[in-house]
Amino acid sequence: MSVTGQCLCGEIKYEIDNVPTMTGVCHCKNCQRQAGSAFSTLAAVPTSEFKLNSGTLKLYKDSETKSGSTVERFFCGNCGSPIYSAVPSQPDALYLKTGTMDDTEAFVPQFHVWCDTKQNWVSLDESVPQMGQQS
């Protein structure tokens, strides 16, 4: 089953071969700033399965993270839509921004991370694991 997605302006289009291997929500300040929202919804995908079908991604290397690890944030240089993040220490995975997926009906977060910096007005489902910080 192929999963497809695109940026807001449609310049960037992608597909992945299978459904994501993991889904989650990050509440760190950097993801809040990058998303322009209270959190970032993520879907882990094997790097080998990601296919960029059109457009050219721009890269911002976010080295000022709470974890100390650089996060590579790939986005559309035209409309600014974030497409995915990657962590160099995890070269076999990338983390799609689920809002760019064409069909998000099946998205259900399996966990929440960096909950110590979540927005105070955000309520989380107690049945979903929550971590204050990611180690």
pLDDT given at position 129: 83
> Rounded to a whole number, what is the distance in angstroms from the first to the last CA of the chain?
32
SS (H, E, C) 16-32: ECCCCCEEEEECCHHHH
Q: Encoding tokens for residue 135?
A: 């180690």
pLDDT given at position 70: 85
Domains defined for the chain, CATH in brackets: 3-117 (2.170.150.70)
pLDDT given at position 103: 93
pLDDT given at position 135: 46
36: left (phi over 0), alpha (psi -120 to 50) or beta: left
User: What stretches of 1-135 show up as alpha helix (H) in DSSP?
Assistant: 29-35
- Going by C-alpha positions, the residue among 5, 79, 80 that lies closest to residue 49 is 5
Mean pLDDT by 10 residues, the chain (135 residues): 93 94 90 89 95 97 77 95 93 95 91 89 90 68
C-alpha to C-alpha distance for 119 and 65, rounded to whole angstroms: 18
Strand partners, 44: 22, 95
pLDDT given at position 134: 55
Strands 40-46 and 93-97: antiparallel
Report pTM. 0.87
The pLDDT tens digits of the residues spanning 66-102 come to 676 788 999 999 999 999 999 988 899 999 999 999 9
